[in-house]
Amino acid sequence: MTNSATAADDVRPIVIAHRGASGYLPEHTLAAKSLAHAMGADYLEQDVVLSKDGEPIVLHDIHLDTVTDVREQFPNRVRKDGRFYAIDFTAREIGRLNAHERIDLKTGRPVFPERFPLGKGRFHVPTLREELELVQGINRGTGREVGVYVEIKAPAWHRQEGKDSSAAVLELLDEFGYRRRADKCFVQCFDPRETRRLREELKTDLKLIQLIGENRRKEAAIDYDKLRTREGLKTIAEYADGIGPRLEHLVIANATAVRVDPLVGWAKEAGLALHPYTFRADSLPEFHALLGDEPDKQFDALLQLFFEKVKVEGLFTDFPDRAIAVRDAQSRAD
């Protein structure tokens, strides 16, 4: 197949709002997506799981307890492992929950303490339908077509629970007019078997991105180290248009310098676009000291490194306004 994940986009790298403008508002809320759109993001990300009644829900995890008050509202709906699963609740029930900043379940404290304060504001977990209506509505009102970037979460687990999340998501995307390669829509997944299934069994023509994680994180029962080899990338190119690696996968840092990893060249050789994750001003990579002496400027230097030297086709960030500013400043300089 011909891989051209950015063929329908600007030549400039795309800025993908990771869970919306999640550096400023609770992740995956409609408020976070609206702000990201207003900031000028090119795409808005939607992580998707299914509810008990099969409704696609925009939620990063299969669990509800790290980002909502489900424990307070439905204390008796906990599973034996102590967790509250979205698939055990109807979409209507999930819509009743109050969404908030992500917390550490062990401490009850926010993962990012300097972000939007806990207990303030009123937010909810949206359905994918709600979010697509919002995005297309703002697009119409502003005349600017911002795309959607959907991740299929834990597809194998959903099938064990008796639900086909990929089929449900593709059906809804088709209803909203996202069905062709030229449409402003990417679909991504950590499970390469499912990403291939999206192309070969479910026959989607949408642009597909193969996410690449770390084996220790167990995002899928797959050897990600093997995927990051030259041969692994050639295999990915058989069904996908690009890869979504951790940003650390694309560079090699030693005590004095940061250089581009061979993975970058192999991906480009295979015709795969690079959309790394996740660029956070308040959670910089371990090599951040090599990016300059001023902490306030290290995030911008990180973005500049990936735009100018790694030459990514896009990136995921919690702070889309800052990524856009760095990208556009580079474009003006060029």
Domain at 157, CATH number: 3.20.20.190
Cα 111 from Cα 107, distance rounded (Å): 10
Do residues 279 and 299 make contact, with C-beta atoms less than 8 angstroms apart?
Answer: yes
Give the global pTM. Answer: 0.95
Q: Which two tokens stand for residue 8?
A: 């329908």
Give domain status of residue 83, yes or no: no
Q: Which two tokens stand for residue 229?
A: 């080899």
Helix (H) or strand (E) holding 46: strand 43-50
Give domain status of residue 86, yes or no: no
Q: What pLDDT does 10 receive?
A: 53
Q: Give the gyration radius of the chain's Cα atoms.
A: 19
Q: What pLDDT does 11 receive?
A: 82
**Residues taking part in catalysis:** 18, 60
Give domain status of residue 233, yes or no: yes
Q: What pLDDT does 219 receive?
A: 73
Give domain status of residue 115, yes or no: no
Give domain status of residue 114, yes or no: no
Give domain status of residue 9, yes or no: no
Give domain status of residue 181, yes or no: yes
Do residues 124 and 44 make contact, with C-beta atoms less than 8 angstroms apart?
Answer: no
The β-bridge relationship of strands 207-212 and 14-17 is: unpaired
Cα 144 from Cα 152, distance rounded (Å): 26
List, for the chain, all residue ranges whose pLDDT scores fall below the cut of 50.
Answer: 1-9
Cα 151 from Cα 58, distance rounded (Å): 9
Give domain status of residue 273, yes or no: yes
Cα 192 from Cα 220, distance rounded (Å): 8
- SS (HEC) of 148-176: EEEEECCHHHHHHCCCCHHHHHHHHHHHC
- Total domains in the chain come to 1
Range of the domain at 297: 14-62+125-333
